[in-house]
Chain A
């Protein structure tokens, strides 16, 4: 897949990076970034996945969601386009800010068609909620370096038990989730 992406992007000089995220866990599936770019592909893919999920929920709340939707972000330094390829994959493409939008759309259509064509069909694995909560905290908690200690103290779950979050009891998972909500300042986790 990585090699295929590299071939596909070779003809788009203003493309800086592309990230394919596997849903629903927002995990990096494949990526390509231009030489000299020091991004963490795992982080970017995870944030893009969460962003598309939030966008999907927002549009559903407005009653205007369709699977064709696309998110375009124009920042000071880049142009980012996020798109759902299927129910299992999301693609995020980062272009130079100077790239004309019309050209971006044209390239993107061809590029994503080719990538979609080679994506596998996946059977979503039902991963333990405790594990997914800890991964979510790692991505979004302030001071992620201290998050396991903070959770341990607040939820009353030992550090040893937190090292295997997939093995927590239902009661511990509930406390973990309440603690995660408190740490992140949200009412519920978007998992």
Chain B
């Protein structure tokens, strides 16, 4: 069965699933910043452990569902299919040489290592490998190929493109084993969404989002297992990975260094800003956008509608514009997002709003819609990012309602300072 046939779309909620497991699209800017933030909060060693564990769990859920859906039963069949899924998602091409007690894996190109070297390689020397996601994937593949228990195999990256090795290598060894948790699948997600409601400019947003979702259906890894689209490297990624790493890191800081909570939450919001500035910005400036939607007008209400449509098109959930008064106030609501189902299923009801990604994204959408001179072909550089978010007009964002906290829907209010 082709991998594409395993995709499902919960259209009214703009949520996408592969073999019943949720997935979303994120670019290398977000992915690298996200991982960097996890390490900032936990330190390199613990950060790598948490990231690898999260990827391990997330890919066990996905691959288990894929193998069940396709009827893959033998180790060879499962290993081959898993590698194809990984490449299809844009994470890179990896070859595994494993048995029921471990083995090794090699990859000439992986999303994280390749993109890190492209983005930061000329500026920073890195000592630690960057591909915890691939390590977790390799461990999950080996376990499922031989019908082993969760965490029966542990994977560690020993060589990495980001540390200037010619390719990435992983050592797989026996693990300690632990009880697996129930997967966060489509049925779980459906428990934490409410019927979609219409927002401002709904018809236009919905039409563009549908076009983008259709376009994204054709996006898949190339011969190296990477996706270069919209001038960024894109991955189909597992919300389980993002969520587990974010919430484990934030909870750790809350427990061990409460004075650092403001900084870690601000960095998680910043990741949302990084995503909107880079991914949304590059989508808007791309020839693909011009071909699908037309040239940009630069009118704030248009740009806000476009940003909302892009969020839906990337599978982030049913975001809608509840209120928008240019230069003053924006209220984004979401009847679904990819953060809440995980939080509620894993941790229960939160005591405070926890949807950091959409908080940062909403603030960035305000600035992108109002301040960027789109018709002048702006250059989305680091310097421009700093200028955009530090200079006036300045805004603040507050999440006033959150489904992780038990509210009916999630709501993000952006107001001029």
Interface residues of A (CB under 8 A from B): 40, 140, 142-146, 149-150, 152-154, 156, 158-159, 183-186
Any A CB within 8 A of the CB of B289: no
Among B120, B127, B253, B274, point to the contact of A153 (Cβ < 8 A).
Answer: B253
If the complex has contacts A150-B40, A184-B124, A185-B124, are A143 and B382 also in contact, measured as CB distance less than 8 A?
yes
User: Are A156 and B386 in touch, CB under 8 angstroms?
Assistant: no
Q: Give bound CA distance, A186 to B126, whole Å.
A: 9
Any A CB within 8 A of the CB of B267: yes
If the complex has contacts A143-B36, A145-B385, are A153 and B126 also in contact, measured as CB distance less than 8 A?
no
Closest 9 CB pairs of A and B: A185-B125, A152-B263, A153-B263, A185-B124, A145-B386, A153-B40, A142-B120, A149-B263, A150-B40
If the complex has contacts A145-B386, A159-B262, are A140 and B267 also in contact, measured as CB distance less than 8 A?
no
Minimal Cβ-Cβ distance residue in A for B39? A154
User: Are B120 and A144 in touch, CB under 8 angstroms?
Assistant: no
Minimal Cβ-Cβ distance residue in A for B273? A145
CB distance from B218 to the nearest CB of A (A): 32
Any A CB within 8 A of the CB of B373: no
Q: Give bound CA distance, A185 to B43, whole Å.
A: 14
User: Are A146 and B124 in touch, CB under 8 angstroms?
Assistant: no
Residues of B close to A146: CB separation below 8 A: 33, 267, 270
User: Are B123 and A144 in touch, CB under 8 angstroms?
Assistant: no
User: Are A150 and B124 in touch, CB under 8 angstroms?
Assistant: no
User: Are B36 and A140 in touch, CB under 8 angstroms?
Assistant: no
CB distance from A77 to the nearest CB of B (A): 17
Q: List 10 A-B contacts (CB under 8 A).
A: A142-B119, A142-B123, A142-B124, A144-B386, A145-B390, A153-B40, A153-B263, A154-B40, A156-B257, A183-B124
Chain B binding site: helix, strand, loop or mixed by DSSP?
helix
Any A CB within 8 A of the CB of B1: no
User: Are A156 and B382 in touch, CB under 8 angstroms?
Assistant: no
Q: Give bound CA distance, A159 to B37, whole Å.
A: 16
User: Are A156 and B259 in touch, CB under 8 angstroms?
Assistant: yes
CB distance from A181 to the nearest CB of B (A): 11
User: Are B259 and A145 in touch, CB under 8 angstroms?
Assistant: no
User: Are A150 and B267 in touch, CB under 8 angstroms?
Assistant: yes
Residues of A close to B124: CB separation below 8 A: 142, 183-185
Any A CB within 8 A of the CB of B305: no
If the complex has contacts A144-B386, A149-B263, A159-B262, are A186 and B125 also in contact, measured as CB distance less than 8 A?
yes
What range describes how many residues of B lie at the interface? 20 to 34
Any A CB within 8 A of the CB of B295: no
CB distance from B286 to the nearest CB of A (A): 23
User: Are B127 and A185 in touch, CB under 8 angstroms?
Assistant: yes
User: Are B40 and A156 in touch, CB under 8 angstroms?
Assistant: no
Minimal Cβ-Cβ distance residue in B for A179? B40
Chain A binding site: helix, strand, loop or mixed by DSSP?
helix
Any A CB within 8 A of the CB of B68: no
Name the interface residues of B81-119: CB closer than 8 Å to any CB of A: 119
Any A CB within 8 A of the CB of B389: yes
Any A CB within 8 A of the CB of B71: no
User: Are A159 and B263 in touch, CB under 8 angstroms?
Assistant: yes
Q: Give bound CA distance, A9 to B61, whole Å.
A: 67
User: Are B259 and A143 in touch, CB under 8 angstroms?
Assistant: no
Any A CB within 8 A of the CB of B179: no
CB distance from A73 to the nearest CB of B (A): 15
Residues of B close to A142: CB separation below 8 A: 119-120, 123-124
Name the interface residues of B197-249: CB closer than 8 Å to any CB of A: none
Minimal Cβ-Cβ distance residue in A for B261? A153
User: Are A156 and B260 in touch, CB under 8 angstroms?
Assistant: yes
CB distance from B165 to the nearest CB of A (A): 15
Minimal Cβ-Cβ distance residue in A for B123? A142
Residues of B close to A149: CB separation below 8 A: 40, 263, 266-267, 270
Residues of A close to B264: CB separation below 8 A: 153
12 more contacts with CB within 8 A, not counting A143-B382, A153-B253, are A140-B123, A143-B33, A144-B382, A145-B270, A145-B390, A146-B33, A146-B267, A153-B260, A153-B263, A153-B264, A158-B259, A184-B125
Residues of A close to B43: CB separation below 8 A: 154
Residues of A close to B259: CB separation below 8 A: 156, 158
Q: Give bound CA distance, A54 to B389, whole Å.
A: 32
Residues of B close to A143: CB separation below 8 A: 33, 36, 274, 382
Any A CB within 8 A of the CB of B187: no
Residues of A close to B123: CB separation below 8 A: 140, 142
Which one of A146, A150, A154, A158 has the highest number of Cβ atoms from chain B below 10 Å of its Cβ? A146
Minimal Cβ-Cβ distance residue in B for A140? B123
Q: Give bound CA distance, A186 to B40, whole Å.
A: 17
If the complex has contacts A142-B120, A142-B124, A146-B267, are A153 and B41 also in contact, measured as CB distance less than 8 A?
yes
Any A CB within 8 A of the CB of B383: yes
Residues of A close to B262: CB separation below 8 A: 159
Residues of B close to A153: CB separation below 8 A: 40-41, 253, 260, 263-264, 267
CB distance from A153 to the nearest CB of B (A): 4
Residues of A close to B385: CB separation below 8 A: 145
Residues of A close to B37: CB separation below 8 A: 150
Residues of B close to A145: CB separation below 8 A: 270, 382, 385-386, 389-390
Residues of B close to A40: CB separation below 8 A: 383
CB distance from B44 to the nearest CB of A (A): 8
CB distance from A47 to the nearest CB of B (A): 12
Q: Give bound CA distance, A169 to B96, whole Å.
A: 51
